[in-house]
Structure 1
Amino acid sequence: MLHTFASHRQFLDTSRYILFAYMLINDALQVTTSVVLFAFFVYQIEFPIVYCIPLLFISTATFQNTPLILAIMSLERYVAIVYPLQCPPAWRSDRIWAIILTLWMISCLFPLIDFSIGKQDPNVDPFSTPVLCKTAVVNSTPIQMLLKAATSILFFTVVAVIILFTYVRILLETRKLRQDRASVNRAMYTVLLHGFQLVLCMLAFTHPITETLVVAHGWQPQDLAFFNYFTFILIPRFLSPLIYGFRDQSLRACIRKTLVRCSQKVWTYDKRIPQ
């Protein structure tokens, strides 16, 4: 999909596609770092904290950035429908980068504060003492736990209100346009898919509560970690390109053409190879 964006200029001139490409890049970074951290946790691989903090920082920042991107994409759709002829300057394709930069600053601010207020263990040398790279090692003080809980509640409340407000207004505006029933049904189906993705992302903020409840019923820590990772990290990132990408007719058509050209090149190359 990123190759398709880079190959077609019309996608880079539309705010909606720019935000979608930004979400793909963010989710790619999130999945890459989270897979590495999860593998280290499963195989109990230890190394100094100085190498662990960059991975945790990227993973945390990109994870917190995902719901913000969903909220901004919802606002962009709301602006495009409510103000189709007089789009505010901030939402134009040549200025949408300012909003993207703001999202990155907000997402990186909380991990920076979290790591800066942490209290270092005097028995652990950050440059030589090997430790298991996980959040509990770096974020272990009560102040950090309180900040993380407050951040989760803040993100959940703000993003949930924005998503609910924008999609309800979009649905109402769609009905006012007197479109055919099929278009209204597609809009409602898209709303349901986005809502399901938002629920999965927001539930990840409540994983300390779910861990406490599930452990009380006898789940193994490894099984619980895999369940939370698969359900709240991988599935939402898997649904993102399906919801925003393959349901878009223009993007789907370009992807199909790219796949056809690649298949033809592979077929031609195979015919040239002597058997």
Structure 2
Amino acid sequence: MLRARQSQGNVTVGLVFLERVLFSTLATAPYCIFFFINVTLLFTLRSKALFRDSSRYVLLFNLVMADTLQMTLSQLLYLLAVCRVLLTYPVCGLLVMCASLTNEISALTLVAMSLERYVAVCYPLRHAAIVTIRNTAVAVAVVWLSSLLNVLTRVLLLLDFPFEKLDTLQMSNFCSLFVMFLGSMSDDYDKAYTCFLFVSATVTIASTYVGVMVAARSASADKASARKARNTLLLHLVQLGLSLLSTMHNAMLVAVSKIVTMYMLLRLLNVFYVFIMLLPRCLSCLIYGLRDKSIRPVLLFHLCCRLKVSTKTQVSP
């Protein structure tokens, strides 16, 4: 009887292990595909002077780079959680803060890109004077500095926690942003800043969309350019919404964990990870890599290992 129970227990452990390996493989495969496409797009954006000297593509490069770093950090944290590797608080804090930094850079870069499209449609004659490479570099620097300032504030709030009262710095749970809320001030600050960031970004992008819609109705406006800008701004709103959803990833898991079993939670963890954490990070490639007539042929050329692509390069307006 005892041997039968031990045998059944071994079978159960083996099935759980195989299921864990299967789900982690299914989640890692999309990451590898998205990572390859994103890195190829980054290389494409640095391969031609047309892309390097255009403010629109410089902002896109910054967005894709932040998304790629965010995706890589998310994948690392996911694999650590699946393998049940427990980190120390300092190491987890470093990874979580870097992930938070890249997520905020993505949101702020979307705002800058929306403003660039607004100027291009509503003030076409002044676009070249307003949106210069120098001004774009300043905008990118402001995005990074403001995000770094927020991360520094989070670190200072974490330092307020009495770590010396802990028996060990070894964590008892897997690393995530939710676990690093060691004090009420950190939690309150995160909620307030996240709300402020995404409300401000949403209002800005929505305002630029309304401005483009109004400009499109005027007789002097370029209808085709206004239509493309309007569609791009809508996609930016979708990207921003998905980014906000990714910040709620851990809170959603905590809420779901109260009504489902542990095995069901592990399955949902993989589904949430692919559709909430990974998928939004490849949207930039789908939005620009496939829609933009300047990028598409060059991107396909590099994705196909520099094989000849029949599509002719056209410069989008």
Pairwise TM-score range, normalised by the shorter structure = 0.7 to 0.9
TM-score, reference length from structure 2:
0.73
**Distance apart, 1:38 and its partner CA:** 1.3
* Percent of aligned pairs with the same amino acid: 29
What letter is aligned with 1:152? T
What letter is aligned with 2:80? F
Q: Is 1:101 matched with 2:144?
A: no
Q: CA offsets, 1:52-87, max 9 Å, x none?
A: 332222111001221111111101111122222223
Match in the other structure for 1:244: 288
Q: Is 1:123 matched with 2:166?
A: yes
Match in the other structure for 1:139: 181
**CA distance in 1: counterparts of 2:229 and 2:126, whole angstroms:** 23
For structure 1, which segment, 51-60 or 204-213, has the greater mean C-alpha deviation from structure 2 after superposition? 204-213
**Distance apart, 1:161 and its partner CA:** 0.1
| Secondary structure at the counterpart of residue 47 of structure 1 | coil
Match in the other structure for 2:279: 235
Q: Note if contact 1:61-1:111 (Cα within 8 Å) is conserved in structure 2.
A: yes
Structure with the greater alpha carbon radius of gyration: 2
For structure 1, which segment, 72-81 or 215-224, has the greater mean C-alpha deviation from structure 2 after superposition? 215-224
Q: Spell out the pairing of 1:136-175 with structure 2 (5 A cutoff).
A: 136-175=178-217
**Distance apart, 1:189 and its partner CA:** 4.2
Q: Relative to 1, partners in 2 of residues 1:235 and 1:124: Cα closer, same or farther, differing over 3 Å?
A: farther
Match in the other structure for 1:254: 298
Q: Note if contact 2:111-2:205 (Cα within 8 Å) is conserved in structure 1.
A: yes
For structure 1, which segment, 14-23 or 49-58, has the greater mean C-alpha deviation from structure 2 after superposition? 49-58
Q: Note if contact 1:175-1:184 (Cα within 8 Å) is conserved in structure 2.
A: no
**Distance apart, 1:156 and its partner CA:** 1.6
What letter is aligned with 2:244? M
Q: Is 1:196 matched with 2:238?
A: yes
For structure 1, which segment, 133-142 or 58-67, has the greater mean C-alpha deviation from structure 2 after superposition? 133-142
Q: Note if contact 1:56-1:134 (Cα within 8 Å) is conserved in structure 2.
A: yes
| Secondary structure at the counterpart of residue 207 of structure 2 | helix
Question: Which of residues 101, 105, 111 is equivalent to 1:65?
Answer: 105
What letter is aligned with 1:238? C
For structure 1, which segment, 44-53 or 108-117, has the greater mean C-alpha deviation from structure 2 after superposition? 44-53
**Distance apart, 1:190 and its partner CA:** 3.6
Match in the other structure for 1:24: 64
**CA distance in 2: counterparts of 1:203 and 1:133, whole angstroms:** 19
**Distance apart, 1:175 and its partner CA:** 3.6
For structure 1, which segment, 103-112 or 211-220, has the greater mean C-alpha deviation from structure 2 after superposition? 211-220
**CA distance in 2: counterparts of 1:261 and 1:217, whole angstroms:** 48
Q: Spell out the pairing of 1:79-98 with structure 2 (5 A cutoff).
A: 79-87=119-127, 91-98=131-138
- Which ranges in structure 1 are unaligned for 5 or more consecutive residues? 265-275
- What is the RMSD of the two structures over their aligned residues, measured on CA atoms? 2.6
| Secondary structure at the counterpart of residue 117 of structure 1 | helix
What letter is aligned with 1:242? L
Match in the other structure for 2:266: 222
**CA distance in 1: counterparts of 2:117 and 2:261, whole angstroms:** 42
| Secondary structure at the counterpart of residue 46 of structure 1 | coil
- Which ranges in structure 2 are unaligned for 5 or more consecutive residues? 1-40, 309-317
What letter is aligned with 1:231? F
Q: Note if contact 2:198-2:240 (Cα within 8 Å) is conserved in structure 1.
A: no
**CA distance in 1: counterparts of 2:252 and 2:181, whole angstroms:** 19
What letter is aligned with 2:289? G
